[in-house]
Amino acid sequence: MVDIVLEAYADPKWMKFEAEWRAGRMGSRDCLRAQMALMRATKKQVDTLLDTINLDEGLGDLLETCSSQLIPVHVISDGFDYFIDRILSRPQNGLTSLWPGVRVCASHLAPNGYRWCAKFPFFDRACGHGCATCKPAAMRLLNRSNAPAIFVGDGLSTNMQ
């Protein structure tokens, strides 16, 4: 999601930071902060773009199965709450009824005119990996009793940890 939005609305310099991050020379927190500073778009422009992004098939089924088995589900993302909330709360996705129990741990993004400001509310200080939102740390936070937990993810921020 972040890349799609940056491709559309950021100065192409964002790709230099992306390459640094992919090479492991820059943490995602510094990378996202720098990339978002290069973005110029109104809320309406970003919303219109987000509304074209489809959810992965099967997410609804997964949430429904977990809900029926009373298994808590949370979203932990190195991306932004603004994008996640917009896409997941879209009525066509039919997730609204399952959504209230789900907690979203992600970086915070808010529009301010044409500019977008990134904040990292879950952890004041960056972790050793330099994550925007540290997935292992968020899992520990959400699972204080250390119960068995399953992590599902396919992005680079997942593989790095």
- Which residues contact Zn ion by CB under 5 A? 127, 129, 131, 134
Least distance from Zn ion to the Cβ atom of residue 143, Å = 16
Query: What CA–CA distance (Å, rounded) separates 141 from 74?
Result: 11
**What string of H, E and C letters represents the secondary structure of 141-161?**
HHCCCCCCCCCCCCCHHHHCC
Least distance from Zn ion to the Cβ atom of residue 124, Å = 13
Least distance from Zn ion to the Cβ atom of residue 131, Å = 3
Query: What CA–CA distance (Å, rounded) separates 40 from 7?
Result: 11
39 class by beta-carbon count within 10 Å (0-12 exposed, 13-18 middle, 19+ buried): buried
Token code pair at residue 97 = 């009824």
Query: What CA–CA distance (Å, rounded) separates 108 from 133?
Result: 10
Torsion-angle region of 94 (φ positive above 0: left; ψ -120 to 50: alpha; else: beta): left
Residue number, 34 or 134, with CB nearest to Zn ion: 134
Token code pair at residue 51 = 């509304």
The residue at minimum Cβ distance from Zn ion is: 134
Residue number, 10 or 157, with CB nearest to Zn ion: 157
Least distance from Zn ion to the Cβ atom of residue 159, Å = 13
Residue number, 35 or 133, with CB nearest to Zn ion: 133
Residue number, 34 or 131, with CB nearest to Zn ion: 131
Least distance from Zn ion to the Cβ atom of residue 129, Å = 3
Beta bridge partners of 105: 76
